[in-house]
C-alpha cells in the first residue's frame, strides 16, 4: 500500500499537484484549529510529499511560532525546534530539511498547539500509514495537543492495516473537505 501511495504522488502532473495543494491549503486555513494555534509543528516537505511551504510561510506571516522536527535515526526519536525562516534550516536525515540546532531553540510538546502529521494513506477514523520511519508514532504516544493531516481524496481509504501502537489524528484535510475525527 505504501509503495502504491508513493507511486500515486510521483505520477501527479505539476498542474494536478498545484491544484490539490492550493485547495488543501485553503481548507486548512479555514479551520478553527489553524486560526487559534499560536504554535504549529510541521515538517519541511520533500518531494513527492504534499508541499508544506505554504503553511510555513502563512504561519510566519501571521506571527505564529513554527516548530520543525529534527530526528535522531539511532533511537527513532524526534524533537521540534523553533524556526523563524528558511535560513534556520539545513539538510538532515534522508535529505530532509531540519532545524539547525546550533541556533534554534527546542519547543516542548506542551507548547505545540497544532501538530501536522504526515502520512501516505488515511482512513476515515484518522488512522494513517506513514512513510515508514515510526518517528511520529513514537512522538504521538504522549502528545496531547491538536493533530491534523493533509492528504488527497485519492489517499483516503475505507480500510488500512492498523497496528496496536497506532494513534489517529484528530482532523484529516483533503482538497475537497475537512474530516473532523474528534
Structural domain spans, the chain: 2-180
The vertex-59 CA angle with 57 and 62, nearest 5°, equals: 110
Does 180 appear as a known binding residue?
Answer: no
- Quick one: residue 57, left, alpha or beta (phi over 0 = left, psi -120 to 50 = alpha)? alpha
Q: What is the pLDDT of residue 110?
A: 98
Q: What is the pLDDT of residue 76?
A: 87
Does 126 appear as a known binding residue?
Answer: no
pLDDT for 15-58, tens place per residue? Answer: 999 999 999 999 999 999 999 999 999 999 999 999 999 999 99
Does 84 appear as a known binding residue?
Answer: no
Distance of alpha carbon 91 from its chain centroid, rounded?
18
Residue 180 has pLDDT above 90, yes or no: yes
Q: How confident is the model at residue 167 (pLDDT cuts 50, 70, 90)?
A: very high
Cα separation of 73 and 22, whole Å? Answer: 32
Name the strand (E) or helix (H) holding 14: helix 14-29
Residue 165 has pLDDT above 90, yes or no: no
Cα separation of 27 and 54, whole Å? Answer: 12
Judge whether 61 and 49 are in contact, CB under 8 Å.
Answer: no
For residue 83, cis peptide bond before it (omega within 30 degrees of 0): no
Does 77 appear as a known binding residue?
Answer: no
pLDDT for 47-93, tens place per residue? Answer: 999 999 999 999 999 999 999 999 999 998 999 999 999 999 999 99
Per-residue pLDDT, averaged over 147-165, amounts to 95
Does 63 appear as a known binding residue?
Answer: no
Residue 164 has pLDDT above 90, yes or no: no
Does 144 appear as a known binding residue?
Answer: no
pLDDT for 111-147, tens place per residue? Answer: 999 999 999 999 999 999 998 888 999 999 999 999 9
Does 7 appear as a known binding residue?
Answer: no
**Domain 2-180 -> CATH class:** alpha beta
Q: Is the pTM of this model over 0.85?
A: yes
Judge whether 23 and 153 are in contact, CB under 8 Å.
Answer: no
Amino acid at each position: 500500500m505504501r509503495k502504491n501511495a508513493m507511486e500515486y504522488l510521483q505520477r501527479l502532473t505539476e498542474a494536478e499537484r498545484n491544484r490539490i495543494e492550493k485547495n488543501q491549503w485553503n481548507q486548512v486555513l479555514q479551520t478553527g484549529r489553524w486560526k487559534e494555534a499560536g504554535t504549529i509543528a510541521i515538517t519541511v516537505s520533500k518531494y513527492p510529499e504534499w508541499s508544506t511551504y505554504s503553511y510555513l510561510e502563512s504561519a510566519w506571516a501571521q506571527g505564529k511560532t513554527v516548530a520543525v522536527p529534527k530526528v535522531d535515526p539511532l533511537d527513532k526519536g524526534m524533537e521540534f525546534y523553533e524556526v523563524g525562516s528558511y535560513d534556520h534550516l539545513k539538510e538532515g536525515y534522508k535529505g530532509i530539511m531540519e532545524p539547525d540546532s546550533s541556533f534554534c531553540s527546542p519547543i516542548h510538546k506542551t507548547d505545540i498547539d497544532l501538530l501536522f502529521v504526515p502520512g501516505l494513506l488515511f482512513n476515515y477514523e484518522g488512522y494513517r500509514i506513514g512513510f515508514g520511519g515510526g518517528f511520529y508514532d513514537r512522538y504521538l504516544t504522549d502528545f496531547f495537543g491538536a493533530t491534523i493531516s493533509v492528504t488527497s481524496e485519492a489517499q483516503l481509504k475505507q480500510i488500512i492495516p492498523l497496528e496496536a501502537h497506532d494513534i489517529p489524528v484528530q482532523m484529516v484535510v483533503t482538497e475537497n473537505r475537512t474530516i473532523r475525527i474528534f
